[in-house]
Structure 1
Amino acid sequence: MNASGIGRLAVSLLGALLAVAVGYVLFFELPTTGVELVGVLLVIATGLIGLRIAGRLAGSAFTTYNVAQVAVEGPISRDGGGGRLPSGPTTTPTDDIVEQIEAADADETVEGLLMKLNTPGGEVVPSDDIRKAVVEFDGPTIAYATDVCGSGGYWIASGCDELFAREASLVGSIGVIGSRVNAADLAERAGLSYERFAAGKYKDAGVPLREMEEDERAYLQGLIDDFYGQFVERVAEGRELSEETIRATEARVYVGEEALELGLVDSLGTREDAKDRLGEVLDLDPDVREFEPDRGMMARLSVGSASVAYAFGAGIASVVGDSDREIDVRL
């Protein structure tokens, strides 16, 4: 046991002993009810509480970790609601993930960042916010994929120094898809008509209650092309690959071994392998602390419930337009 560990143990034991002493005086030596058994139980309870409090204080005073881990699990969204898909789980809000990365960066004991990625993707700007926080982290950053690292997850991974994946991990999905519901025929059969009240030619482009004009289709396709161009550019820059190589993947997902051959990942391995690699880069024995926001039990249970099948059709989800949200765009 190193000096830091001995110090933590000493503080914890001292705190427990002091708590027991206080509890003995309050509940046993000077009993108010005369029932000594109750006093003894209260002494024990007080000691346990003291041990817990002292342990926390010791953990703060004698930190042993030098690597932070932050996880991105499930569909990525600003509020953690899982997006518009009805099967999407409640996940960690993007702002909370960014906050944990920034907290790790501000922690003087943290020298490296380990990013756990198990996500099919999510909204465009939130994914980019996480990537930006990773890029700005002052130290080496290594990501490892578990089940899925697609679209928005890969967007984030491209900002890390290295990416590990399992042999059977699904990696990639570097592409964009746009969709809208065409309810024009249904509205006509129901006797409904669409009347336009808008300022600006393309303000209601994509409204489902009428057929789309060709110039509107070209306009919306242009937005999707812009998203795709940004995605390709970021991945090419972060992975040091040509844009032609990225476009040649055709937005497909690859198992880990194929992704390694294409240069989409750096190594095949588990979390331990990624941690050991980070230790090599830092030239130290890595001790990892998981940085995560305070969440309720139900939120913890729901994280990770997204199915692998979702990764094939989902990805970075965003909405083009204003509050009516007719056009759904995913990378």
Structure 2
Amino acid sequence: MADEWKTPAAGSPDERSWRLLEKALLASVQEQRRSRRWGIFFKVLTFLYLFIMLALFTPALDLKKSASRSESHTALVEVRGMIADKEAASADNIVGSLRAAFDDPKTKGVILRINSPGGSPVQSGYIYDEIRRLRGEHKDIKVYAVIADLGASGAYYIASAADEIYADKASLVGSIGVTAASFGFVETMNKLGVERRVYTSGEHKAFLDPFQPQKEDETRFWQGVLETTHKQFIDSVKKGRGDRLKVDGHPELFSGLIWTGEQAVALGLVDKLGSTSYVAREVIGEKEIVDYTVQDSPIDRFAKRLGASVSEHAALWLGFQGPSLR
């Protein structure tokens, strides 16, 4: 029968060897753990470094790429998504892109490629005015708006400042109207037995408060604000499109309705059907396209989205959302 394993006697040479072996094993395990921690730390540090370098230098590389073009070209500026401050299609971004495109002596024509549901009347107005100003300063460079899937409301406001508007036959175009929306929680508050207390220093300061009943005079006032904004929108479109608009016989043109690109041509909202590449190649006569759209760094995009999300939720909670061209 095999001898049973016995723990070495205390103080014996075997016991001392055992303890030395145990310490060596523990030290090895601890060293491995430290190595893993440092390895993870340096991997994370390397990732952050590469991310920051990419964020800092990607826009510069894009500019160098555009600047390296030695031949004449068609300049492209994207108007994509909601037209609002801090968004990709903000007035700051679009106006900056347009100025860069017009300032390049190699630019033969400018295309505004639009795919947007609209947004802020203020931001749209800024862009509209700048397009007309740049067209006046650079009479040899024409601006062509090309509507992709959607060119509605504030996006069409911008498009109407161009020399010509193109769209696909199935594009959605128009929606020349203004909207402002909130919620009413008066009955809900009553059912819950919650009392709303608002303190103001102006008689109508809280007229958009969703927790208080609407007043007829305040509703009329707010409707007047929207109608004034709508009139400004209509006047700008008429100024931009001129006699190309088929206003006579089409009273619904400025009603907020939306049409396909094919229908929009018949109404004078769009000049012709065509894509970005078609306009660059066949209309401008320069098929090489250089994108001048301002590109935010990943860090900027994250910060803007975070800030916009917080402000948007705060505005919704307070029951206020300004007029939108939709």
1:248 CA displacement? 2.2
Query: How far, CA to CA, are the matches of 1:105 and 1:213 in structure 2?
Result: 50
Q: What is aligned with 2:252?
A: 248
Q: What is aligned with 2:142?
A: 140
Q: What is aligned with 2:55?
A: none
SS in 2 for 1:248: helix
1:225 CA displacement? 0.4
What TM-score, normalized by structure 2, do the two folds share?
Answer: 0.67
Q: What is aligned with 1:295?
A: 296
Change (3 A) 1:129 1:325: farther
Query: How far, CA to CA, are the matches of 1:66 and 1:150 in structure 2?
Result: 28
Structure 2 letter corresponding to 1:263:
G
Q: Per-residue CA shift, 1:131-188, capped at 9, x if unaligned?
A: 2222222221001111000011100001001000001000000112222210111112
1:202 CA displacement? 2.2
Matched, 1:73 2:112: no
1:195 CA displacement? 2.8
Aligned residues: 245
Matched, 1:98 2:95: yes
Change (3 A) 1:247 1:298: farther
Query: How far, CA to CA, are the matches of 1:204 and 1:213 in structure 2?
Result: 11
1:330 CA displacement? 2.5
Change (3 A) 1:59 1:134: closer
1:209 CA displacement? 0.8
Query: How far, CA to CA, are the matches of 1:246 and 1:327 in structure 2?
Result: 31
1:298 CA displacement? 9.8
Q: What is aligned with 1:122?
A: 119
Change (3 A) 1:59 1:248: closer
SS in 2 for 1:206: coil
1:286 CA displacement? 4.8
Matched-pair contact (CA < 8 Å) for 1:116–1:145: yes
Structure 2 letter corresponding to 1:264:
L
Residue in structure 2 matching 1:264, options 260, 266, 269: 269
Question: Unpaired runs of 5+ in structure 2?
Answer: 1-62, 302-311
Change (3 A) 1:218 1:58: closer
SS in 1 for 2:323: strand
Matched-pair contact (CA < 8 Å) for 1:232–1:243: no
Q: Per-residue CA shift, 1:57-95, capped at 9, x if unaligned?
A: 797466213321100011111111xxxxxxxxxx44431
**Identical counterparts, % of pairs:** 27
Structure 2 letter corresponding to 1:232:
I
Query: How far, CA to CA, are the matches of 1:191 and 1:270 in structure 2?
Result: 58
Q: Per-residue CA shift, 1:253-311, capped at 9, x if unaligned?
A: 101111111111000111122223542xxxx54532110223346999xxxxxxxxxxx
Q: What is aligned with 2:160?
A: 158
Q: Return 241-250 or 257-266, whichever deviates more.
A: 241-250
- Higher helix proportion: 2
Structure 2 letter corresponding to 1:121:
G
Matched-pair contact (CA < 8 Å) for 2:167–2:273: yes
Matched-pair contact (CA < 8 Å) for 1:148–1:169: yes
Which contiguous aligned blocks of 4+ residues in structure 1 show a shift greater than 6 angstroms?
56-59, 242-246, 297-300
Question: Unpaired runs of 5+ in structure 1?
Answer: 1-55, 81-90, 301-317
Q: Return 172-181 or 262-271, whichever deviates more.
A: 172-181
Query: How far, CA to CA, are the matches of 1:57 and 1:153 in structure 2?
Result: 30
The 5 A counterparts of 1:176-255 are 176-240=178-242, 241=245, 248-249=252-253, 250-255=255-260
Matched-pair contact (CA < 8 Å) for 1:121–1:151: yes
Q: Per-residue CA shift, 1:95-127, capped at 9, x if unaligned?
A: 112111111122222232111001111111111
1:208 CA displacement? 0.5
Query: How far, CA to CA, are the matches of 2:227 and 2:238 in structure 1?
Result: 16
